[in-house]
Amino acid sequence: MISDLVFSERLMGFHKPNSVSLAGRWVLLLALLGVLLPAIFLGYLLQSKWLKPLTILEQIRHDGRLITITTKSATTYFDGPNGPAGLEYDLVSAFAKELGVSAEFIFSSDSKEIAAKLRHGKAHLAAMGTTPPDAARKLNHGPVYQQVTSQLLYRSGHVRPVSIEQLTSGILEVSSGSPEDALLQKLQQSGDLTLDWTASDETDFEQLMYLLDVEMVDYTVADSNLFAFERRHFPKMRVAFDLDEPRPLQWLSAHSKDDSLNREINRFFDKIRGNGFLQRSIDRYYAVADNMTIARSLTFWSFIADRLPMYELLFQEIAAQHDYDWRLLAAIAYQESHLNPDAVSPTGVEGLMMLTEATAETFKVTDRTDPKQSIIGAIRFLKFLEKRIPEEISMPDRLSFILASYNVGLGHVFDARLMTRVLGGDADSWPDVRQRLPLLAEERFFSKLKYGQARGDEPVTYVDNILIYYDLLVWHTSFRNRNINSPVASVQ
């Protein structure tokens, strides 16, 4: 018979292995969970967007910036009176805003360098305002938004060559590494061009135009869109002939597996074509240039060369005292009086800035023919108007409203804004109000407005002209400050 003690010991011995086995099972379970749970979580992450490689478009949005290669030129990116400007600057900035990121620009005019930066991820796109070079063949090409040709340029007063076969003598110069340089190499290899040329590392297109203007070179080459814009700066430049067939202008981006950026670029251009933004952007630069005829350009530069030096320091001193841009004041003076302090109009306005008698009295001008008083009075009047333009109207539209008010009166501008709103336009947009201002001359409209009839087409022309002259003076001073004699020196 088994004693109770032995029974208890056996009982304890019997249960001990079971107890150890249960603990081992828990350890094994925990170990398995320690392996399985991370594996399950990792698998979830791999299937989620967190650990998936970001597309190029997602990476741009994640980084918060769109890096674009461009060149500094009149058709791409330049320092305007209100900050950076240019067609490519405007389009890229709008695209970046669409993506919810900031636009950053880097600059290069070397075709191979541009293609390499795109392929190596140093930039997201190239917006060059010129035809994609041969080095860009393996890149994505966005939608076509303009057509251009390469043109041979010469100076008026010289014999115009009518074909490339006639280019047997003379100095032809372009920028080294530029698309123009590549085109000339191609023409030479094909046997079409026998004239040698100089490819300079130190000169850009504006400097080449200056060298052509002062007859230090005989020819240069430019895309038709660039010449269309720059001809108002160099009114003696002429087109001899086209060097190639029309070519498309397109943005460039690197090939990628996801193609997300290229698709977004296509979507963006579809949108801005549909809502008119693309055409308005093109018109902003080229329509203004088209309005500046050769005759007007020659007249303007002649006055700037002859008369501006007499008043430039005075404009600068007074403008600095009142925190104003002297070039805007000079542009107004040219439009008003052609820089003549003794000018008098049939309606009685007079002086350099052509102030009315009432305006002169309001702003304490005792002698309208005194250039200093006239300029100070004009600044006071402009600042008075600026304070009364609604704050929600921003630059550059704001400047146009101020100038229109200087010309036709603040009340008529407010009437035009009201009429614009009633007719379904944007009363804060100068392009919209600009379209309605001429209606102030029609009784069916002015009879219902507070300030009555006005020749509304006059402020439209007035603003257009001053903005042209202002841009030209900004360019003129910028070009002059590059330690090159101003191109107006050759105007006769």
Same domain (yes/no): 270, 208 = no
Q: What is the pLDDT of residue 170?
A: 92
Is 361 within the bounds of a domain? yes
Pairing between β-strand 65-70 and β-strand 125-126 as defined by DSSP bridges: parallel
User: Is 107's pLDDT higher than 50?
Assistant: yes
Asked if residue 50 is part of any domain, the answer here is: no
Residue 16 lies in a domain: no
Residue of 336, 357, 361, 386 marked catalytic: 336
Residues 6+ apart with CB under 8 A from 78: 72, 84, 85, 86, 89, 475
Are 203 and 257 members of one domain?
no
> Which runs of consecutive H residues, i.e. helices, occur in 214-337?
224-230, 260-274, 277-291, 294-306, 308-321, 326-337
Q: What pLDDT shows up at residue 1?
A: 45
- pLDDT-derived band of residue 283, with 50, 70 and 90 as boundaries? confident
Residue 5, pLDDT above cutoff 50: no
Specify whether 132 is located in the same domain as 75: yes
What does the alpha-carbon distance between residue 448 and residue 452 come to, in Å, rounded to a whole number?
A: 8
User: Are 128 and 270 in a shared domain?
Assistant: yes
Q: CA 410, 415, 418, 420 torsion: positive or negative?
A: negative
Q: What is the pLDDT of residue 438?
A: 94
Indicate if the pLDDT at residue 407 is higher than 50. Answer: yes
Calpha distance 109→277 (Å, rounded) = 27
pLDDT greater at residue 104 or residue 49: 104
Angle between helix 371-388 and helix 397-408 axes, rounded to 10 deg:
120
Give the CATH number, domain containing residue 70.
3.40.190.10
Say which CATH number the domain at 328 has. 1.10.530.10
- From the CB of residue 289, how many other CB atoms can be counted at a distance below 10 Å? 20
**Whether residues 322 and 362 fall in one domain:** yes
Q: Indicate whether 387 belongs to any domain.
A: yes
Query: Does 242 have pLDDT greater than 60?
Result: yes
Which has more confidence, 491 or 461?
Answer: 461
123 lies in the same domain as 178: no
Query: Does any domain span residue 21?
Result: no
Which pLDDT score, from 0 to 100, does residue 133 have? 59
Same structural domain, 279 and 419: no
pLDDT of residue 485: 47
399 pLDDT above the threshold of 80: yes
Q: Per-residue pLDDT averaged across 131-154, rounded?
A: 82
Q: 321 with 457, same domain?
A: yes
Per residue in 315-327, pLDDT tens?
999 999 999 999 9
Give the residue-averaged pLDDT of 68-77. Answer: 87
Mean pLDDT of 272-282: 89
In this structure, what DSSP letter does residue 355 have? B
Range of the domain at 133: 56-146+250-290
DSSP helix/strand/coil, 55 = coil
Among candidate residues 442, 397, 387, 377, the one with its CA nearest the CA of residue 415: 442
Span of 73-82, 249-258, 470-479 with lowest mean pLDDT: 73-82
User: In this structure, is residue 48 part of a structural domain?
Assistant: no
Average of per-residue pLDDT across 179-204: 88
- Asked if 182 and 257 sit in the same domain, the reply is no
What is the domain count for the chain? Answer: 3
Task: Report the percentage of the chain scoring pLDDT > 70.
Answer: 84
- pLDDT in the model for residue 43: 60
Domain assignment of residue 208, yes or no: yes
For residues 352 and 322, membership in a common domain is answered with yes
Task: Give me the residue label for tokens 């010309």.
Answer: 407
Do 238 and 304 lie in one domain? The reply is no
| pLDDT over 90 (residue 476) | no
| pLDDT at residue number 214 | 86
Claim to verify: residue 300 and residue 282 sit in the same structural domain: no
Is residue 355 a contact partner of residue 378, using CB atoms and an 8 Å limit?
A: yes
Give 149-161 pLDDT, tens digit per residue: 999 999 999 999 9
The verdict on whether 336 is a catalytic residue reads yes
pLDDT band at 291, cuts 50/70/90? low
In angstroms, the Cα distances linking 383 to 70, 379, 399, 402, 427 are 36, 6, 11, 9, 21
Q: Does 439 reside within a domain? A: yes
